[in-house]
Structure 1
Amino acid sequence: MKNTLRLLICLTITVLLLAQSAVAAPPTVPGQLALKLRPGQHPAVLEAVLLKLGASGLRQKFPHTLAPNPETPGSVDLRGIYQFQLPLTVSLAQARAVLLATGAVEYVEPLYIRQPQYQPNDPLSDSTITSLSAGQYYLKQIKAYRAWDVTPGDSSIVIGITDGGVRLTHVELAPQIKHNYADPVNGRDDDGDGYIDNFTGWDLANNDNDAGYDITIIHGTLVAGVAAAAVNNGHGIAGVGNRSRFMPLNIYPNTATGTFAGFEAIVYAVDHGCQVVVMAWGAPGGYSRLEQDVCTYAAVNRDAVLVAAAGNTNADLLFYPASYDHVLSVSGVDNLDRKTGAATFSHRVDLVAPGTSILTCYGYHLANSGGPADDDYTAVGGTSFSAPMVAGAAALVRRRFPAYNAAQVAARLRQTTDNIDGIPANAAWVGRLGTGRLNMVQALTRPNVQEARVVSSTFAPARAAYAPGDTLRLTADVQNLLQPVAGLTVTLTSLSPFVTVRQGSFAVGSLATLARANNAAAPFRLAVAGSGIPLNTTVSLRYRLTATGGFQYDQYVDLVLNPDYVVLDANDLAVTLTSRGNLAYDNLAGTIGAGLTYRTSGNILSEGGLMLATSPTRVSDRIRSSGGQSRQSFFSLRQATRQQPGPRADQEARVAFQDTVPVVGSRVRSLGVAVRQRAYAWATPARRDFVLLEYSIRNLTADTLKPLYAGIFTDWDLPNPDGAAQNAAAWDSTRNLGYCYAVGRIAPSVPAQYAGVRLLRGGAPAVYSINSAAPAGSPIRLADGFSIAEKFLSLSSGTARAQRTAGLPNGADVVQVVGTRLARLAPGDSTTVTFALLAAPSLAQLQASADAAALAYTTLLPTRTASQAGFSVYPNPTTGLLQVEVPVDFGLREVQVRDALGRLVLRREATGRQVDLRLPDLAPGYYTLQAIGEAGVAVRPVTVEY
């Protein structure tokens, strides 16, 4: 059993990456992606989107898998998973955003490459022992000899060896292979399973029927020898599984067209009768919902015991596939039950087995290579060889207890180990080496074995991470897997000072075998500390299950606290604000942050953020660049924080960041500015469709920034029935509003058809709308990256008609930059620009929301005194005549007056320092006057009387 439960709420990748930000994701198959359709959807709905992405080769990944069984809780459907090829010029982030926005897709992921966990021994290992049988010290250590007296297993139990090719002719392995006699080698698919001549396993990586020996990868032979080498054959060694057979399944490519296929091999194994599957491979990080689906299918739908190596990392981390649900995670010890130096240790480890000097089949020598052909052996080390020992033991337990399901087999293996926490050398890893070291005879003979466990955890509210001061509830679903228990109690304890458990006891009572219970009526209650929590801190909570008779078992669940971003979600538009100026997500992969959603939509902004520039060579941003990377100009000055309520709005956010100050003669291409960002959201009915973003920009250099350009980059992906790539961008000049909308048929069920950015405060407005698929030679071409010169062009080129729209007439994947030009920013001075971020079901509603945003900003967020020095409007109140005065260096260009709804009622061009303004026949009431100049926008509320 996994001694850790991940949050089984909609946390997916976000929590796991935040929890392990220092762990790099494993490599991926270039250009290959997988997606999963939502139930009831057909791949035909994606044709238009895939065509626009340039995708090809869409195919059902697991067409022959078993459908979910309604009577088996937790079973999964793999038939909705499809794989396709994406052009290398299209990013994963773009493809994910476009496909998810259709509403038909559950997830989009890369295909990870997991490596074998092989670690060679030094020359003084047991491989030097001349008596080969004596070299298998581990059989005595795990009590295999005594276990074989209880049952030697049976050839009907098959272990799937998902690994490199196996030396099929090796004297120890040839008689142990499970052949498929329903499909002999004759060029036909005799058994109709979709595989031709799969008589001896299958090569999933290269898609052929040769799962045999490959001189470059002998790992599969080594693993197979530990689990299933022939016993009593007068040669070499004995496999832990004794009479159990094995199925060879190659997962590593040896052809130009081959790809890693570990998870495909798991599906093949369980669909072809393997009751146990061993995965002696993996990698830290890179959580995948597809991979978890495969493991769930194998363990729940197909009732197979999955056993995986915990990895050779000597670290406490998530290692996949071992750390997935329904997988036994096996770490390693030496011949004295001490943790091996390289073995992974964590709350996710289930048990350990020997992992040093493991004598096994070598499978390396050929008949003419000077060594014994097909009868060679070697001693190796690593958790790769601990895992097949447990797999062999699982095969015997399945034979001994044929009525057990896979979860019960795993439970019995966990609960019959020899505890090794008391060994002095293991003191540093107490509680992180599972329940102990494998004991095979106890697994087969101990009576009255018990294991109740928490099988799922549900947090409310469901969040990827929790902020200081949050309170939350935790519901635990408990199942008894083995012998009935009485007096069962679950006690929740925080292992961190940053979380307090206010109510942590759940009295379950008695549970029969396989019975369940939960504490939904009285969930655990927790509180997060209000301060002092380091950024992105992962904390563990411990479930301790106890019952009458001495049963005790610990499990763990993790929480991420104090994330380096905040989410404003007071109204219908919820948006993530990062500590470095980005919107929606803090990375291009779209895994850190909650995105931007509107009402019931999924994420509709694949990438967004602030861009600043003063020349084609001095640009600061964290927006995409090239090669799937983003620029990293901004760094955080302090963590993003949220107030609820705030002094001016129902939710407010504060962010501070800056870029690098250029040094004379350096090649730094930044500006040298510090930015204080404030954001505001309201829950009131008239203000539910927008969030205000206010940026105060200070010049840290000794030079005047002249001019200074500031803008918001948005890559919207608004869904419609014809596909999210069918968007267009436009400009409403009366409102300084840049917006994007879905082109094609209207989808009544999709809440957001329009989204945009309005400039509320700043200098001269600008917009640049970009077709992402623009051909070579276009002024801005995103297909080959987004250079700093192109970013400057998008900020500085004004509002020429050719740049106001994109994607017309048929729609495209569009990007838009809405910005402003400030005449100058002197050394040490600050200026403020403000934008409204908006979404709405129609253009009319978007425009109304833009007007409401302008009103909210001018009436509820008074302009700060420092930026209004020298600006006056009098008399105020007035009966119709106003005098407006601005500072000497303001550069006045225009004066506007708007009513209480934000509608423009007067516009007048103006220059100089003073303007006499006669208002038209306006009704008495409240109005807003804006003076627009080179230095920015100055605002004053005005009252008109009779």
Structure 2
Amino acid sequence: MKIKSILMSGKSVIATGILSMAVLAGCEKNLDEPTGLASQSASSDAVAQAQNHVPNEVLVKFKKGASEAARANALARISGKVKEHILTKAMERFGDEGVYLVHTPLAALEAVAKAKGLEVEYAEPNYIYTHSAASTDTYFTNGSLWGMYGDGSSPANQYGSQAAEAWARGNTGSASVVVGIIDEGIQFEHPDLKPNVWTNPHDPVDGVDNDKNGYVDDVHGWDFDGNDNTIYDGGSRGSLDDHGTHVAGTIGGVNNGTGVVGVNWNVTMISCKFLGRRGGTTANAVKAVDYLNDLKSRHGMNIVASNNSWGGGGFSQALFDAVNRANTANILFVAAAGNGGNDGVGDNNDVTASYPSNYTSPNVIAVAAITSTGGRSSFSNYGATTVDIGAPGSSIYSTTAFNTYSSYSGTSMATPHVTGGVALYAASHPSASAAAIKNAIISSAVPTPSLTDKCTSGGRLNVSGF
């Protein structure tokens, strides 16, 4: 994904170059962000050369039954040294032997080519991704939260998600519905988020991995970038968690008479922080996806979706496998379609794939962005066969670090509107499968001229009937 200008409310930050950690798939603060260009085909090797990845690192998966000698020979071909054996609890549950993160003195793409052999299932770069009733809350009543409005709400906007219409019908979400936010961290003490942030009842803070999921004291989630339980850095580094905090506010901002509200007034949100100062890697994205997969299997938690407002790497078999494990676990993977290239114009994902939204797993919902007047946001990627739906993504107010609120733009902002819609539907349809919820999201879309032939539904998010 090529990073684009990031306009940080009041400040202008211009980032150039190509990121392959998790491109905050679309945050313009007025954030016109990340986009991932890749191909889920034989051309992916060539595309990989245009993607950023961690230097001198590759992910290697050996074929089942490969001998220790054969594995050693494969590593010797690239002078490789195993840095980490990634074997998540979810992988173990599927009988998977895991993936090896390997350090090599060779350039990553050269190492990928040389590592291939009969004993190797796949070898790939370790890609880098970057950041894609009625309420009395201030930003709702002053006209700023247009993404929450409906045709008949006050204030009103026909191009909003119609969440206000659902609230008026009595559906404001449920704390029994859980979503994972795979992103930066979340300011879990933010007054508009705190009541809806997950606290792990299975692992009290005592320095012991009580639930034996491999993560000690994961009280609100886990920081896979820092490999600790500090999901919010706070202090001078708290602004690094602006994006994740913003996403959380759109999904589940509390209706408390101040600030903003989310699509759900009641929901439970788990922080899966894998985006750090320099983005996030494939290796950590896999762990984050599988963390949710394992929580659902281990504790029977009602995790219905993960929000993925990021992109930037090429096709990754390791990440694709993790998304498929989420599908088996009945967890939707809602992903930003991405923000176009350096020209600021959205790209056609049917022509040039943007991952992870282009993964073909049935649980993926790929989201484009629209404006408050119904146009497709100029930066938003699209695709008649690869993008599913549009949602509010331009000038979106939500929570940010240090108890603040900011306006961002991007497919990153559109995506949590849809994730919020997933949670809202699950609240009123507690037995619905992931497939049924996805069908409800797509089938209820309102036909929108700017999205005709630009996404499979041809329309925008509409949760009024949820």
- Point out the structure with max Rg over C-alpha: 1
Return the alpha-carbon distance in structure 1 between the equivalents of residues 279 and 456 of structure 2: 41
Counterpart position of 2:143: 134
State the shift of 1:17 in Å. Answer: 6.4
Does structure 2 conserve the Cα–Cα contact (< 8 Å) formed by 1:34 and 1:109? yes
State the shift of 1:145 in Å. Answer: 1.8
Counterpart position of 2:463: 440
Indicate whether 1:272 and 2:295 are aligned: yes
Counterpart position of 2:86: 61
The one-letter code matched in structure 1 to 2:52 is P
Indicate whether 1:352 and 2:390 are aligned: yes
2:109 to 76, 80, 92: 92
CA-atom RMSD, angstroms? 2.7
Indicate whether 1:379 and 2:417 are aligned: no
State the shift of 1:259 in Å. Answer: 8.6
Return the alpha-carbon distance in structure 2 between the equivalents of residues 258 and 356 of structure 1: 27
State the shift of 1:257 in Å. Answer: 12
State the shift of 1:167 in Å. Answer: 1.3
Counterpart position of 2:226: 206
1:577-616 alignment runs, 5 A limit: none
1:505-904 alignment runs, 5 A limit: none
Counterpart position of 1:329: 366
Does structure 1 conserve the Cα–Cα contact (< 8 Å) formed by 2:127 and 2:282? no
Does structure 1 conserve the Cα–Cα contact (< 8 Å) formed by 2:252 and 2:262? yes
Does structure 2 conserve the Cα–Cα contact (< 8 Å) formed by 1:62 and 1:78? no
Counterpart position of 1:409: 437
Is the alpha carbon distance of 1:261 and 1:412 closer, same or farther for their aligned partners in structure 2, counting shifts above 3 Å? same
Does structure 1 conserve the Cα–Cα contact (< 8 Å) formed by 2:89 and 2:213? yes
Counterpart position of 1:530: none
SS in 2 for 1:215: helix
Indicate whether 1:281 and 2:310 are aligned: yes
Is the alpha carbon distance of 1:330 and 1:95 closer, same or farther for their aligned partners in structure 2, counting shifts above 3 Å? closer
Over residues 523-569 of structure 1, what are the superposed CA-to-partner deviations in whole Å (9 max), with x where a residue is unaligned? Answer: xxxxxxxxxxxxxxxxxxxxxxxxxxxxxxxxxxxxxxxxxxxxxxx
Task: Give TM-score scaled by structure 1 length.
Answer: 0.39
Over residues 2-35 of structure 1, what are the superposed CA-to-partner deviations in whole Å (9 max), with x where a residue is unaligned? Answer: xxxxxxxxx95414567xx6x9632111222112
Counterpart position of 2:299: none
The one-letter code matched in structure 2 to 1:89 is L
Return the alpha-carbon distance in structure 1 between the equivalents of residues 326 and 286 of structure 2: 10
Return the alpha-carbon distance in structure 1 between the equivalents of residues 139 and 242 of structure 2: 22
Counterpart position of 2:248: 224
Counterpart position of 2:97: 80
State the shift of 1:104 in Å. Answer: 2.4
The one-letter code matched in structure 2 to 1:277 is S
Indicate whether 1:30 and 2:78 are aligned: no
The one-letter code matched in structure 1 to 2:454 is R
Of 404-413 and 350-359, deviating more is 404-413
1:190 to 210, 218, 221: 210
The one-letter code matched in structure 1 to 2:455 is L
The one-letter code matched in structure 1 to 2:421 is A
Counterpart position of 2:20: none
Return the alpha-carbon distance in structure 2 between the equivalents of residues 260 and 380 of structure 1: 28
2:131 to 116, 126, 148: 116
2:418 to 381, 386, 390: 390
The one-letter code matched in structure 2 to 1:307 is V
Return the alpha-carbon distance in structure 1 between the equivalents of residues 229 and 240 of structure 2: 18
State the shift of 1:260 in Å. Answer: 7.3
Return the alpha-carbon distance in structure 2 between the equivalents of residues 185 and 44 of structure 1: 43
The one-letter code matched in structure 1 to 2:355 is Y
Gapped runs of 5+ residues in structure 1? 1-10, 69-76, 118-128, 366-373, 445-946
Return the alpha-carbon distance in structure 2 between the equivalents of residues 132 and 24 of structure 1: 48
Counterpart position of 1:146: 165
State the shift of 1:155 in Å. Answer: 1.0
1:309 to 336, 339, 342: 336
Return the alpha-carbon distance in structure 2 between the equivalents of residues 256 and 135 of structure 1: 29
Is the alpha carbon distance of 1:275 and 1:45 closer, same or farther for their aligned partners in structure 2, counting shifts above 3 Å? farther
Over residues 429-476 of structure 1, what are the superposed CA-to-partner deviations in whole Å (9 max), with x where a residue is unaligned? Answer: 63113311001023x2xxxxxxxxxxxxxxxxxxxxxxxxxxxxxxxx
Return the alpha-carbon distance in structure 1 between the equivalents of residues 413 and 278 of structure 2: 27
Return the alpha-carbon distance in structure 2 between the equivalents of residues 52 and 109 of structure 1: 15
Return the alpha-carbon distance in structure 2 between the equivalents of residues 67 and 437 of structure 1: 39
Does structure 2 conserve the Cα–Cα contact (< 8 Å) formed by 1:295 and 1:325? no
Is the alpha carbon distance of 1:106 and 1:199 closer, same or farther for their aligned partners in structure 2, counting shifts above 3 Å? same
Over residues 416-438 of structure 1, what are the superposed CA-to-partner deviations in whole Å (9 max), with x where a residue is unaligned? Answer: 100003xxxx2xx6311331100
Return the alpha-carbon distance in structure 1 between the equivalents of residues 441 and 408 of structure 2: 24
Task: Give TM-score scaled by structure 2 length.
Answer: 0.77
Is the alpha carbon distance of 1:27 and 1:169 closer, same or farther for their aligned partners in structure 2, counting shifts above 3 Å? same
Counterpart position of 1:292: 320
The one-letter code matched in structure 1 to 2:372 is N
2:274 to 239, 251, 267: 251
Return the alpha-carbon distance in structure 2 between the equivalents of residues 132 and 38 of structure 1: 58
Return the alpha-carbon distance in structure 2 between the equivalents of residues 188 and 29 of structure 1: 32
The one-letter code matched in structure 2 to 1:341 is S
Is the alpha carbon distance of 1:95 and 1:383 closer, same or farther for their aligned partners in structure 2, counting shifts above 3 Å? closer
Higher relative contact order structure (alpha carbons within 8 Å, sequence separation ≥ 6)? 2
Is the alpha carbon distance of 1:154 and 1:43 closer, same or farther for their aligned partners in structure 2, counting shifts above 3 Å? farther
Counterpart position of 1:242: 265
State the shift of 1:254 in Å. Answer: 4.8
Is the alpha carbon distance of 1:226 and 1:130 closer, same or farther for their aligned partners in structure 2, counting shifts above 3 Å? closer
The one-letter code matched in structure 1 to 2:426 is R
Does structure 1 conserve the Cα–Cα contact (< 8 Å) formed by 2:285 and 2:319? no
Return the alpha-carbon distance in structure 2 between the equivalents of residues 95 and 358 of structure 1: 41
State the shift of 1:96 in Å. Answer: 3.8
Is the alpha carbon distance of 1:257 and 1:65 closer, same or farther for their aligned partners in structure 2, counting shifts above 3 Å? closer
Return the alpha-carbon distance in structure 1 between the equivalents of residues 448 and 428 of structure 2: 26
Is the alpha carbon distance of 1:115 and 1:325 closer, same or farther for their aligned partners in structure 2, counting shifts above 3 Å? same
Does structure 1 conserve the Cα–Cα contact (< 8 Å) formed by 2:58 and 2:111? no
Is the alpha carbon distance of 1:91 and 1:239 closer, same or farther for their aligned partners in structure 2, counting shifts above 3 Å? closer
Return the alpha-carbon distance in structure 2 between the equivalents of residues 197 and 302 of structure 1: 24
Does structure 2 conserve the Cα–Cα contact (< 8 Å) formed by 1:157 and 1:245? yes
How much identity, in percent, do the aligned residues show? 26
The one-letter code matched in structure 2 to 1:116 is H
Return the alpha-carbon distance in structure 2 between the equivalents of residues 42 and 241 of structure 1: 51
Return the alpha-carbon distance in structure 2 between the equivalents of residues 193 and 350 of structure 1: 34
Return the alpha-carbon distance in structure 1 between the equivalents of residues 278 and 454 of structure 2: 40
Is the alpha carbon distance of 1:58 and 1:255 closer, same or farther for their aligned partners in structure 2, counting shifts above 3 Å? same
Is the alpha carbon distance of 1:59 and 1:262 closer, same or farther for their aligned partners in structure 2, counting shifts above 3 Å? closer
Is the alpha carbon distance of 1:197 and 1:254 closer, same or farther for their aligned partners in structure 2, counting shifts above 3 Å? farther
Is the alpha carbon distance of 1:66 and 1:216 closer, same or farther for their aligned partners in structure 2, counting shifts above 3 Å? closer
Does structure 1 conserve the Cα–Cα contact (< 8 Å) formed by 2:139 and 2:397? no
1:50 to 71, 75, 100: 75
How many corresponding residue pairs? 390
Return the alpha-carbon distance in structure 2 between the equivalents of residues 133 and 179 of structure 1: 32
Return the alpha-carbon distance in structure 2 between the equivalents of residues 404 and 160 of structure 1: 18
Gapped runs of 5+ residues in structure 2? 1-38, 133-137, 150-159, 297-302, 341-345
Counterpart position of 1:169: 189
SS in 1 for 2:311: strand
